[in-house]
Chain A
Amino acid sequence: MTDRTTTLTAEDLEKELAAYLSEKTKTEVGPADDVFASGLVSSMFAMQLVVHLESTYDVAIIGPELKIDNFRTAQVMAALVLRLSDEAGDA
């Protein structure tokens, strides 16, 4: 677990990720907006998204965790990051 994720609350993370999505898609994205449903993101973007989460929050997203439902909104992505860094911290 990194110092960064210990100090971040779910709400901070959601805001940060929503801002990231807004910047990347050049569209205003709220914490609960489904970026895949709106057709805003490409497969290339899916890759960028995974790499962004992994490098920024120092988590590894592998195998079954790569399902699209973990990436639909800033909220679920924040939950994924917190859960994965908790698991890493417990291990």
Chain B
Amino acid sequence: MTLVKCLVWDLDNTLWQGTLLEDGDVRLPDEVRAVIVELDSRGILQSVASKNDHDLAWKKLEELGVAEYFLVPRIGWGRKSDAVMGIARDLQFALSTVAFVDDTPTERAEVNYHAPEVRCYTEQDVLSLIGLPEFSPEVVTVDARRRREMYRANALRTEEQESFDGPDEDFLRSLDLVMEIRRADDDDLSRVEELTLRTSQMNATGVHYPDRVLRGLLADPAHEVLTITLTDRFGPHGAVGVLLLERHPGVWRLKLLATSCRVVAFGAGTVLLNWLVDQAAQAGVHLAADFRPTDRNRMMEIAYRFAGFTQDPCVCLAGIGDPAGGDVQCLHLVTARREGPATMRLLSPDLTVATSI
């Protein structure tokens, strides 16, 4: 069952009762309002595809107090399939994760014809949507509930970047980025659950650690489980990374480093890696990193290699045991102090002092 990530609403006689341009006034039942709010709290984004007068319809959504729930609305006189596909494109969702609800059979048929992957629902389904499995993610993370705000902030960011005329680093500096690295607790781990799933795109180590294994290591003094969040002046990016480190006498072993693909462009992976190298240097230890090349993590291999990691042997590696699996490489670095990032502010714990349990 593929979860729905975005629900696109028709307005007249679907979201609200009545036809705006004919009846002048329309009514939004409390039950429908509750569905909108509930879907939002589950991290499912919502948008609008309506054949209507744009300004009038949007003003009505504002009056009804629900306009803020709808991203990249398409209100006009074009084809609904174009509207739905345009919304999916804007939000960068596959059509198979988009749903469409409309009371008019011909509109549903038109969308179905041009975009068969989009799941269509009728006005009679509206109140039961929240009971359907495709609208019921198993875990609702803190970030899921803030996803709408993050998408909105992202749209503003993209707009500004496109109009920014200068080196990328200057643009990054203009964002007032703040990265926070913390020793994780149970709540923090829930927030990075999407990153620890097997499908995570930017798992730098290419080695999978299930959520329950990470939870089991929270209290283990030999391991550090760290989570990373990022914010900028447009708002939160949310939880964007998770890192698992194992302490040995002469070396720290990086067993997991997964970062969200949302923040690759901000150089988050490199900032993180640099910070870790500096911490290890202060602690007087080398760094080892498990690395399994996949078709998706080449950027991190480049980040490791550009940071100076090699596959050269070192005495420190004798005591750390075998890598996690047969095709996992062990990348190694003799650490030296590094300067902090030039493009963002960093809030971080002092790893040279182990936590006392």
Contacts and interface: CB of A to CB of B under 8 A. Distances in A.
Contact of B270 (A26, A39, A42, A71): A42
A66 interface: yes
Contacts of A66: 301-302, 305-306
Contacts of B168: 42, 44-45
A91 interface: no
Interface in B287-322: 298-299, 301-303, 305-308, 310-311
Main secondary structure of the interface of B (DSSP, over half): helix
A35 to B, nearest CB: 11
Contact of A44 (B167, B265, B308): B265
A46 B270 CA distance: 11
Contacts of B267: 42-44
A24 to B, nearest CB: 9
Nearest to B306: A68
In this complex, the member of A26, A45, A46 whose beta carbon has the largest number of chain B beta carbons within 10 angstroms is A46
A67 B167 contact: no
B264 A44 contact: yes
Nearest to B304: A66
Contacts of A25: 167
Contacts of B166: 26
In this complex, the member of B166, B301, B302, B342 whose beta carbon has the largest number of chain A beta carbons within 10 angstroms is B302
Interface in A21-46: 25-27, 39-40, 42-46
B303 to A, nearest CB: 5
B265 A27 contact: no
A80 interface: no
B310 A64 contact: yes
A45 B222 CA distance: 35
B265 A47 contact: no
Contacts of B310: 64, 67
B308 A43 contact: no
In this complex, the member of B169, B172, B265 whose beta carbon has the largest number of chain A beta carbons within 10 angstroms is B169
Interface residues of A, number: 18
Contacts of B303: 43, 46
A5 to B, nearest CB: 22
Interface in B318-342: 342
Nearest to A49: B302
A42 to B, nearest CB: 5
Nearest to B343: A42
Nearest to B274: A43
A47 B303 CA distance: 8
A19 interface: no
B241 interface: no
A42 B303 CA distance: 10
Contacts of A26: 166-167
Contacts of A46: 302-303, 306
Contacts of B343: 42
B73 interface: no
Nearest to B301: A66
B238 interface: no
16 contacts: A26-B167, A27-B167, A39-B342, A40-B169, A42-B267, A43-B267, A43-B303, A44-B168, A47-B298, A47-B302, A63-B305, A63-B311, A64-B305, A67-B306, A68-B306, A68-B308
Interface of A: 25-27, 39-40, 42-47, 50, 63-64, 66-68, 71
Interface of B: 166-169, 172, 264-265, 267, 269-270, 298-299, 301-303, 305-308, 310-311, 342-343
The list of the 3 closest CB pairs from A to B, nearest first, reads A43-B270, A66-B305, A68-B306
Given A42-B267, A66-B306, A68-B306, 4 more contacts: A39-B342, A42-B168, A44-B168, A68-B305
